[in-house]
Amino acid sequence: DDTVFRYKNNLRSKKLPLKIGFAGKINPKKNIEMLLNAISKLPVQDVEAHIVGINNFDSLSHYENALVSESMPNVTFYEFIRNPQNLAKFYSSMDLMVFPGSISITTFEASACGTPVALFETYEGLEHRVADGKGVLFANDEELHSSIVDFIKKKNNTFIDHSKIAESASFFAWSSIKRDYYNVYEFNL
């Protein structure tokens, strides 16, 4: 929905730390521990992780409890964001969104807000989600760690082009898809 998920330039800090986000249901399929492992190998002052998706802090699942209890000082967990405008604001404040497990529409939403995505290669054909500078694919912990290090360098040198990412992601907006479908059906009538 490009009326909600769109580029907002003024929400990101230009200085380190690199703000890494995750948004989605927190369960073993999402493989959050891969992200935490990659972050643990970096200097605390270089990166912050903001993980959104806890169902309820009063009744954590076994998996959620293990993640939260073993967390580092530069990692913060938040409850699931149900309001789309607040979720868009979250994406727009992050420098990088990381999805170390199964993925969903959240990758498109983050890109629409101008935030690059790092995606675990869960299946073939994900290249379109990271093409044109929208992000990177990684196959293991080491590649994720290297990708985060690269994004730290890019942020430090102001090489993350958030507006270009949002522009490239506009191809996946409902308004664009609707227009494309209409053109296909109109042409074939």
Percent of the chain with pLDDT over 70: 90
pLDDT tier, 153 (very low <50, low <70, confident <90, very high otherwise): very high
Quick check: 182 pLDDT over 70?
A: no
pLDDT tens readout for residues 102-149: 888 899 999 999 999 999 998 888 898 898 889 999 999 999 999 999
Q: Give one word for 90, left, alpha or beta, with left for phi > 0 and alpha for psi -120 to 50.
A: alpha
Query: If you average pLDDT over every residue of the chain, what do you get?
Result: 90
Q: Count the alpha carbons within 13 Å of 170 in the hemisphere toward its beta carbon.
A: 10
Quick check: 179 pLDDT over 60?
A: no
Residue 101 to residue 119: CA distance in whole angstroms: 8
pLDDT tens readout for residues 58-72: 999 999 999 999 889
pLDDT tens readout for residues 37-47: 999 999 999 99
The one-letter amino acid code at 88 reads A
Sheet containing 96-99: give its strands across: 75-79, 47-54, 18-23, 96-99, 117-120, 135-138
Tokens 């404040």 belong to residue: 93
Query: Tokens in use for 177?
Result: 């898809």
pTM for this predicted structure: 0.89
Quick check: 156 pLDDT over 90?
A: yes
**3-class SS of residue 14:** coil
* CB-CB contact of 151 with 46 (8 Å): no
